[in-house]
């Protein structure tokens, strides 16, 4: 269930197998997860039984120059996408992993160019698999 308001958190706690949060704001997502954990406690559910996922956009390229070219015509103000080189993206993802996010639904920016997808698979994932 994609949820972020109290009523949906209560429904998630009672009925869902998964909680899906969205965006790049770690503090906001920390609060949403805390709210869901509290909703789970209120209905007698162990919060650890609820899988956590993050839906997020991403623009990633091997170098700053390639990243600038990839994002040149994109509106990056939405707060929905991570933007950076492989090292920067890995650092941006770590706080979400620390929050217990197990699965990432990543919208790869720049499509039909496969730069983001290829860079995530070849360079970012190995950095996080430690």
Residue-wise pLDDT for 24-56, tens only, equals 999 999 999 999 999 999 999 999 999 999 999
> How many helices (H) and strands (E) in the chain?
6, 4
Residue 6 reports pLDDT greater than 90: no
Q: What is this structure's pTM?
A: 0.89
The ranges assigned to domains in the chain are 6-128
Quickly list DSSP for 26-74.
Answer: HHHHHHHHHHHHHHHHHTT--GGGSEEEEEEEEEE-SSHHHHHHHHTT-
Rounded to an integer, what distance in angstroms lies between the CA atom of residue 56 and that of residue 104? Answer: 7
In the CATH scheme, what is the code of domain 6-128? Answer: 3.20.20.30
- CA gap 93, 83 in Å, rounded: 11
């Amino acid at each position: 269930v994609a949820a972020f308001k109290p009523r949906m958190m209560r429904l998630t706690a009672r009925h869902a197998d998964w909680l899906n949060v969205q965006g790049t704001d770690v503090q906001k997502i920390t609060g949403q997860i805390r709210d869901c954990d509290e909703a789970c406690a209120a209905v007698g559910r162990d919060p650890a039984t609820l899988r956590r996922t993050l839906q997020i956009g991403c623009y990633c390229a091997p170098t700053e120059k390639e990243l600038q070219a990839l994002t040149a015509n994109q509106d990056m103000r939405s707060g929905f996408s991570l933007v950076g080189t492989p090292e920067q993206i890995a650092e941006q993802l770590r706080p979400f992993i620390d929050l217990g996010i197990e699965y990432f639904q990543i919208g790869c920016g720049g499509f039909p160019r496969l730069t983001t997808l290829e860079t995530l698979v070849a360079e970012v994932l190995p950095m996080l698999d430690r």
